[in-house]
Chains A and B, each alone.
Chain A
Amino acid sequence: MQGIVGYGAYIPRNRIKVEEIAKVWGADAPSYKRGLMLEEKSVPSPDQDTITMSVEASKNALKRAKIDPAEIGAVYVGSESHPYAVKPSGTVLAEALGATPEAHTADLEFACKAGTEGMYVALSLVKAEEVKYGLAVGADTSQGAPGDALEYSAAAGAAAFIFGKENIVAKSIKTYAFMTDTPDFWRREYQYYPQHGGRFTGDPAYFRHITGAANGIMDKAGMKPADFDYVIFHQPNGKFPLRAGKMLGFQREQIEPGWLVNLLGNTYSGSSPLGLTSTLDISKPGDIILLVSYGSGAGSDAFIFEVTDRIDEVRELAPKTRDLLVKNRNYLEYGEYAKFRHKIRKAE
């Protein structure tokens, strides 16, 4: 049996409130807060990027896994904000953790789904006994064009998972993937900010793939919404995951522990993986968890996990996700935020 051996989260301290962004653009903050169900979002410091956050989250996962990093045979980093266009993030991460040189690594990109893609591959390699342990990270310092609706949600964070066959915290029960070619959101090479299809990102994109993957994995596993203790959907805004849950027949209580977006924003590749870390933080042995990611372009990966007795031993070994979310926050004004996010272009 294979599953999660250790998990870890990282969220930067900085926050900016919806009101602060709306003030600058002359937008109506209450309608954004109501419409998107967002209060504030995380912002990386100027010296933080996908790699530094991946290292932080992976170190937390190692604390819980209690393994020798040299035994990690696969390192995957899923992100749409890899600091380099050419040069891997995974090598830096593996080196920082002490997982080199005997390891396979790859940087993955599939909009907000890249994190769970790495999880899917790492888990499969462990299952195939190609590697003893596999590390997968979903991390992003996501981009939203100034003044665009995306700017209210594009946030930063990372979640890391170490998969193995021994000392499992959550057993993998089933995996399933669902994807089509649906161009709802994209960024071409050399473009600074992504573009999106407005309302087209809803029904034909997010909802079709989330419900397709959720129904697919439940069919495959012979399970129904009531069989799950918790469910996590990708969280581009507050409203979408709640509506997806309603469409599929889940209750609000099943969604809430992993629903971080109102205070966190959309951490893209880190979004649903961070939801899984915060759900594991409060789960009990025997709990069944459904995770469904979503990446524009478009596709969803789905996983069913069953929490083991080991959760009680590891929970406190690293910072809990909710604590990272609500403790020690530092609020930014738009000017600082614009500088931190490199939105101000200086003369060469």
Chain B
Amino acid sequence: MREVAVIGTGMTKWGELWEKSLRTIFVETALLALKDAGVDKIDSMYVGSMSSGLFVGQEHIASLLADYLGQTPVPSARVETACASGGLAFKLGFMEVASGMSDVVLVSGIEKMTDVNGHEATFALGTAADQEYEGYHGITFPGLYALIAMAHMEKYGTTREQLAMVAVKNHKNGAKNPLAQFPFEITVDMVLNSVMVADPLRILDCSPITDGAAAVMLCPVEMARKMGKPVVKVVGMGHATDTIALSSRKDITWLEATYQAGKRAYEMAGKKPEDIDVIEVHDCFTIAEICVMEALGIVEKGKGGKAVEEGLTALEGKIPVNASGGLKSKGHPVGATGVAQIIEITKQLRGESGERQVENAKVGMTQNMGGSGGSAVVHIFEKE
């Protein structure tokens, strides 16, 4: 297996992009990634997108986007594993370069979510839950994560304030990210007094609905060295599944797929949780970040809330989590999120993160998750 490097990133401002279509957003970010990598031709491409069909009525987007990027007839594939689609697209791009099948591969993620109203968006997202055992009974994602939060609070004494602190921390970081959808700070009081969505989760515990895309370029490490590019190596990868219905799990506070994916990524990279300098995790709801930190072994089981309260995961803390602002502040165009996490870590390792730069970041990690944790993709990166 060949060593693989990330040699280019592309991302534009996320938000309600009503002036732009799906293809426009994709082409803008892909061109930025090509330019950053210094290449104008690719051998292959992958697109992560959860539900372009329900959000904009367009399937078959792998070919559509290859066409509008001017890259036909290269092979192009769209992949889907709910909100982890971007992470999965990266895994496949990585495998293609590692296997020697292709040299230069574009990996992107995209979702255009605000062309439909809130009910339609909620329905589209809800298709990532188990339709027969969850969806038909009326529950949507805020409800599922609210159950997880309730159970975590009951079992481990995690407090309502600790949940709020996750959002406050991520907004503090996001305020330093000019591409974020909501680049401003919030307070614990604001979270606690915001509109109730599903007890105990309030609107400021939830990641938003967002239009956005992200793209990265991959090539063999040797080629990157020859091109004189800063080399950010992909050193670990793990991908795992779990039941998508929450009710089928032994312990709903435990994210087994994330644990399994993390374990494999650590093993492949020869790293331990304490070796990670900076990490981007899937904080679709505040409780999710707490559970993910526990499943990845960053903190002990049940201690996630306390860790946030004590500042362990703050930008200046021992292990900065979601320096980008996370899904909460940066936005969450579901298919794009996994790729945007990889962009943040690449930039952190290159030392290009400006005001939110984590000092001496050498090893970084991303964790991207689908549904209420039924799929998870974890990657570990290291600066050469």
Contacts and interface: CB of A to CB of B under 8 A. Distances in A.
A250 B89 CA distance: 51
A28 B16 contact: no
14 contacts: A28-B195, A28-B196, A31-B195, A31-B196, A35-B195, A197-B117, A198-B117, A198-B118, A199-B16, A199-B114, A200-B16, A200-B18, A200-B114, A204-B18
Contacts of B18: 200, 204
Nearest 4 CB-CB pairings of A with B: A31-B195, A198-B117, A28-B196, A198-B118
Interface in B107-145: 114, 117-118
A31 B18 CA distance: 26
Which of A28, A197, A198, A200 counts the most B-chain CB atoms under 10 A from its CB?
A198
Is chain A's interface secondary structure helix, strand, loop, or mixed overall?
helix
A198 B114 CA distance: 10
A35 B16 CA distance: 20
Interface in A239-277: none
Interface string B193-216: 001100000000000000000000
Contacts of B16: 199-200
Given A28-B196, A204-B18, 9 more contacts: A31-B195, A31-B196, A197-B117, A198-B117, A198-B118, A199-B16, A199-B114, A200-B16, A200-B114
Output the residue of A28, A199, A204 with the most chain B CB within 10 A: A199
Nearest to B16: A199
A200 B117 CA distance: 9
Interface residues of B, number: 7
Nearest to A198: B117
Contacts of A28: 195-196
Contacts of A199: 16, 114
A197 B16 CA distance: 13
Nearest to A35: B195
A154 B118 CA distance: 20
Interface of B is mostly: loop
Contacts of A204: 18
B227 to A, nearest CB: 43
A15 B310 CA distance: 51
Contacts of A35: 195
Interface in A1-58: 28, 31, 35
B130 to A, nearest CB: 25
Contacts of B195: 28, 31, 35
A35 B203 CA distance: 13
A197 B114 CA distance: 10
Nearest to A31: B195
Interface string A171-205: 00000000000000000000000000111100010
Interface centre among A28, A31, A204 (most CB of B within 10 A): A31
A198 B195 CA distance: 17
Contacts of A200: 16, 18, 114
A200 B16 CA distance: 9
A29 B174 CA distance: 31
A198 B121 CA distance: 12
A200 B115 CA distance: 9
A123 B11 CA distance: 52
A178 to B, nearest CB: 19
Most A Cβ at <10 Å: residue of B114, B195, B196: B195
Of the listed residues B16, B118, B196, the one surrounded by the most CB atoms of chain A closer than 10 A to its CB is: B16
A218 to B, nearest CB: 26
Nearest to A149: B118
A35 B193 CA distance: 13
A102 B368 CA distance: 73
A31 B203 CA distance: 11
A200 B118 CA distance: 11
A35 B195 CA distance: 10
A29 B124 CA distance: 27
Interface in B13-35: 16, 18
A198 B118 CA distance: 8
A204 B16 CA distance: 11
A204 B19 CA distance: 10
A18 to B, nearest CB: 14
Nearest to A196: B117
Contacts of A31: 195-196
A118 B195 CA distance: 41
Interface in B166-210: 195-196
Interface string A309-344: 000000000000000000000000000000000000
Contacts of A198: 117-118
A205 to B, nearest CB: 10
A197 B18 CA distance: 11
Contacts of B118: 198
Contacts of B196: 28, 31
A87 B16 CA distance: 42
Nearest to B196: A28
A99 B118 CA distance: 48
Interface string A194-224: 0001111000100000000000000000000
A30 B196 CA distance: 11
A31 B118 CA distance: 17
A64 to B, nearest CB: 44
Contacts of B114: 199-200
Nearest to B195: A31
A327 to B, nearest CB: 34
Contacts of A197: 117
Contacts of B117: 197-198
B298 to A, nearest CB: 35
A239 to B, nearest CB: 15
